[in-house]
Chains A and B, each alone.
Chain A
Amino acid sequence: MTITHQFDYIKAKSVAHACKLLSKKGDHRLLSGGTDLIGHIKENLATPDSLIDLKGIDALKHLSVTPSTIKIGALCTFSDLLNSKEMAKYFPAVQEMAQTVASVAVRNRATVVGNICSAVPSLDSAPLLLTYDAVVCVVSSKGVRKVPINQWFISSRQSAIRKGELVCAIEIKMPAQKHGATFVKLGRYRGEDLAQASVAVVALPRDRYRIAFGAVAPTPFRADQLEKLLNGKQLTDNLVGQAVTLIPSLVSPITDIRATKEYRTHMCQVMFERAVETAVARLR
Chain B
Amino acid sequence: MKVSFTLNSETRWLECQPNQTLLHALREQLGVKSPKCGCERGDCGTCTILLDGKSIKSCLVLACEVEGCEITTLEGLMQSGLTPLQKAFLDQNAFQCGFCAPGMVIAATELLEHNSSPNRGEIEEALAGNLCRCTGYAPIIDAVLDLVDNGGK
Q: Which residues of A contact B (CB under 8 A)?
A: 1-9, 11, 31, 34-35, 38-39, 41-43, 51, 53, 55, 79, 99, 102-106, 108-109, 190-192
Contact = CB atoms under 8 A, between A and B. Distances in A.
A104 B19 contact: no
Contacts of B131: 191
Nearest to B110: A104
Which residue, B40, B42, B45, has most C-beta atoms of chain A within 10 A? B42
A109 B18 contact: no
B56 interface: yes
Given A103-B128, A104-B128, A191-B128, A109 B21 contact: no
- Mostly, the A contact residues are loop
A38 B43 contact: no
Interface of B: 1, 17-21, 24, 40-43, 45, 48, 51, 54-57, 60-62, 64-65, 67, 107, 110-111, 124-126, 128-131
Nearest to A39: B41
Contacts of B125: 99, 104, 190
Given A53-B65, A103-B128, A191-B129, A41 B19 contact: yes
Nearest to B53: A108
B42 A35 contact: yes
Contact of B107 (A7, A42, A53, A104): A104
Given A38-B21, A42-B41, A31 B128 contact: no
Which of A5, A51, A99 has the largest number of chain B CB atoms within 10 A?
A51
Given A103-B128, A105-B48, A8 B18 contact: yes
B129 A34 contact: no
Contact of A192 (B43, B56, B126): B43
A1 B128 contact: no
Contact of A190 (B21, B43, B124): B124
B65 A102 contact: no
A103 B48 CA distance: 11
A51 B18 contact: yes
Contacts of A11: 67
B42 to A, nearest CB: 6
A57 to B, nearest CB: 14
Nearest to B22: A38
A261 B83 CA distance: 48
A105 B23 CA distance: 14
Contacts of B61: 34, 38, 109
Interface centre among B62, B111, B130, by most chain A C-beta atoms within 10 angstroms, is B62
A79 B64 CA distance: 23
A209 to B, nearest CB: 30
Given A104-B55, A108-B54, A39 B21 contact: no
Given A7-B18, A53-B65, A190 B128 contact: yes
Nearest to B126: A104
Nearest to A190: B128
Contact of B60 (A2, A38, A104, A190): A38
Given A105-B129, A108-B55, A190-B125, A9 B62 contact: yes
Of A4, A41, A104, most B-chain CB atoms within 10 Å = A104
A42 B57 CA distance: 14
Contacts of B19: 3-7, 41
A105 B62 contact: no
B129 A103 contact: yes
A89 B128 CA distance: 26
A211 to B, nearest CB: 27
11 contacts: A2-B21, A6-B18, A9-B18, A11-B67, A34-B65, A35-B60, A39-B41, A99-B125, A104-B129, A106-B129, A191-B131
Given A106-B42, A106-B129, 15 more contacts: A1-B41, A3-B19, A3-B20, A6-B19, A9-B64, A39-B60, A79-B54, A105-B57, A108-B55, A109-B56, A109-B61, A190-B124, A190-B125, A191-B130, A191-B131
